């Protein structure tokens, strides 16, 4: 951290029950020369990676569906969300982590992945940066049913659908997950399935 306009005054741990929630008080040196003291909360859950698996010949993609409590308490009636495969890095580099998560969640063992960009998904409160990947898949790469790790309380449904159907689900509101929308639109803009 090297922004000379920011000086951290204090960091107070509010919770480390699931991940880490801190209350940070800092001084912000504004362009007009004045100094403002601000307090914000930051939620640190580690960094993550996500991937869109696509089959160019069949014009299909692999997505997942699982229950997401925050969406449920915010009005999503079922709490179920259609998403690209994703997970935390857990001390691995992003490429290693996304290969591991892909096999755990979808059952596909992939070797060639392409990083396409990285993004902060909720920079106002969450420290996580997410690394975005794409990879081609084929039926012969399927090594298990996927579904996630039981120990991590994952209950993931693997979905294979046409690319056009997935893109249409953005418009209908069936896909509301930001990372998934970004990767589907990346694939569309870069003609990955053409």
Binding-site residue positions for Mg(2+):
86, 101, 105, 154
Backbone φ and ψ of 158, nearest 5°: -90, 130
> Which helix (DSSP H) or strand (DSSP E) does residue 39 occupy?
strand 35-44
Exposed / middle / buried, residue 155 (Cβ in 10 Å: 0-12, 13-18, 19+): exposed
User: 177 - beta bridge partners?
Assistant: none
DSSP bridge partners of 48: 88, 130
Q: How far apart are CA 88 and CA 113, in angstroms?
A: 17
């Amino acid at each position: 951290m090297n922004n000379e306009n920011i000086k951290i005054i204090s960091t107070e741990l509010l919770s480390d029950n699931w991940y880490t929630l801190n209350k940070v008080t800092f001084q912000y040196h504004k362009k007009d020369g004045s100094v403002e003291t601000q307090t914000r909360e930051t939620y640190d859950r580690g960094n993550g990676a996500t991937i869109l698996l696509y089959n160019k010949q069949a014009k299909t993609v692999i997505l997942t569906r699982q229950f997401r409590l925050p969406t449920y308490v915010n009005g999503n009636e079922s709490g179920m969300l259609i998403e690209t495969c994703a997970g935390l890095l857990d001390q691995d580099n992003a490429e290693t982590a996304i290969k591991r998560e892909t096999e755990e969640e979808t059952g596909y063992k992939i070797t060639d992945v392409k990083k396409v960009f990285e993004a902060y998904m909720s920079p106002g409160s969450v420290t996580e940066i997410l690394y975005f990947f794409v990879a081609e898949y084929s039926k012969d790469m399927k090594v298990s049913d996927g579904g996630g790790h039981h120990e991590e309380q994952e209950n993931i449904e693997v979905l294979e659908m046409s690319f056009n159907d997935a893109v249409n689900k953005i418009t209908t509101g069936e896909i509301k997950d930001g990372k998934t929308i970004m990767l589907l639109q990346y694939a569309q803009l870069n003609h990955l399935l053409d």
